[in-house]
Chain A
Amino acid sequence: MKLFRFRGGVHPESHKQATGSKAIEAMPLQKRLYVPLQQHIGAPAEPQVRIGDQVLKGQLLANSQGAISAPVHAPSSGTVIDITEHTAPHPSGLGVRTVVIETDGEDRWQDCQKTINPFELDADEISARVGAAGIVGLGGATFPSAVKLNLWKKHPIYTLVINGGECEPYLTCDDRLMQERPDEIIDGIRIMLHALHAKQALIAIEDNKPDAIERMKVAAHLFDNVTVVVVPSRYPMGSEKQMVQTLTGLEIPAGKLSADLGVIVHNVGTAYAVHSALRQGRPLVSRIVTVGGGAINTPRNLEVPLGTLVSAVFDYCGGFGESPARLLMGGPMMGQLLPHAEVPIVKGSSGVIALTEAEVAINRPRPCIRCGSCINACPCGLLPLEMAARSRKGDLQGAVDYGLMDCIACGSCSYVCPSHIPLVQYFSYAKGELAARRRHKQKADETRKLAEVRMQRMEQEERAKAEAAARRKAEREAKSKQEAVV
Chain B
Amino acid sequence: MIIAITSLSLLGLVLGLMLGLAGRYLKVEQDPIIDEIAAMMPGSQCGQCGFPGCVPAAEALASGSAPVTLCPPGGRVLAEELAAKLGVTVDLSAMADDLPAMAAVSEATCIGCTRCFKVCPTDAIMGAPKQIHTVFKEACTGCKACVEVCPTECLQMHPIPVTLGTWAWPKPALAA
Q: Which residues of A contact B (CB under 8 A)?
A: 38, 88, 90, 92, 94, 96, 364-367, 391-392, 419, 421-422, 425-426, 428-429, 431-433, 435-437, 439-441, 443-444, 446-448, 450-455, 457
State whether A447 touches B167 (Cβ < 8 A).
no
Partner of B172 from the list A38, A425, A457 (CB cut-off 8 Å) is A425
Would you give 20 A-B contacts (Cβ < 8 Å), ordered by A? Answer: A90-B164, A92-B164, A94-B163, A94-B164, A365-B176, A366-B175, A428-B168, A429-B168, A429-B169, A431-B168, A441-B77, A447-B139, A447-B141, A448-B43, A450-B121, A450-B122, A451-B42, A454-B121, A454-B122, A457-B123
CB distance from A66 to the nearest CB of B (A): 13
CB distance from B83 to the nearest CB of A (A): 12
CB distance from B99 to the nearest CB of A (A): 12
Q: Nearest CB to that of B136 among chain A residues?
A: A450
Partner of B44 from the list A426, A441, A447 (CB cut-off 8 Å) is A447
Render B61-73 as a binary contact track against A, CB cut-off 8 A, 1 for contact: 0000000000001
Partner of B124 from the list A432, A435, A436, A450 (CB cut-off 8 Å) is A450
Chain B residues within 8 Å of A364, by CB: 175-176
Using a Cβ cutoff of 8 Å, how many contacts connect chains A and B? Answer: 89
* Beyond A94-B162, A429-B172, A443-B141, 19 extra complex contacts between A and B, CB < 8 Å: A88-B164, A90-B164, A92-B167, A364-B175, A366-B175, A367-B176, A391-B171, A429-B170, A433-B168, A436-B166, A444-B43, A447-B139, A451-B122, A452-B43, A453-B123, A454-B121, A454-B123, A455-B45, A457-B123
Chain A residues within 8 Å of B74, by CB: 444
Known: A447-B141, A454-B122. A366 touches B176 (CB 8 A): yes
CB distance from B150 to the nearest CB of A (A): 19
State whether A426 touches B171 (Cβ < 8 A).
yes
CA A232 – CA B44 in complex, angstroms? 59
Known: A94-B167, A421-B175, A433-B168. A440 touches B43 (CB 8 A): no
State whether A426 touches B43 (Cβ < 8 A).
no
Chain A residues within 8 Å of B171, by CB: 391-392, 426, 429
Partner of B175 from the list A88, A367, A433 (CB cut-off 8 Å) is A367
The answer to whether B75 has its CB under 8 Å from any CB of chain A is yes
> Count of chain B residues with Cβ under 8 Å from any Cβ of A?
30
State whether A451 touches B172 (Cβ < 8 A).
no
Chain B residues within 8 Å of A94, by CB: 162-164, 167
B:76-124 near A, CB below 8 Å: 77-78, 120-124
Is chain B's binding surface mostly helix, strand, loop or mixed? loop
CA A435 – CA B43 in complex, angstroms? 22
Q: Nearest CB to that of A437 among chain B residues?
A: B77
Q: Nearest CB to that of B80 among chain A residues?
A: A394
CA A200 – CA B45 in complex, angstroms? 61
State whether A451 touches B121 (Cβ < 8 A).
yes
Chain B residues within 8 Å of A433, by CB: 168
Chain A residues within 8 Å of B169, by CB: 425, 428-429, 432
Known: A392-B171, A429-B172. A450 touches B166 (CB 8 A): no
State whether B139 touches A450 (Cβ < 8 A).
yes
CA A92 – CA B168 in complex, angstroms? 8
CB distance from B23 to the nearest CB of A (A): 28
Q: Nearest CB to that of A43 among chain B residues?
A: B165
State whether A451 touches B44 (Cβ < 8 A).
yes
CA A178 – CA B166 in complex, angstroms? 37
Q: Nearest CB to that of A391 among chain B residues?
A: B171
State whether A96 touches B176 (Cβ < 8 A).
no
Chain B residues within 8 Å of A366, by CB: 175-176
CA A129 – CA B138 in complex, angstroms? 35
CA A443 – CA B138 in complex, angstroms? 9
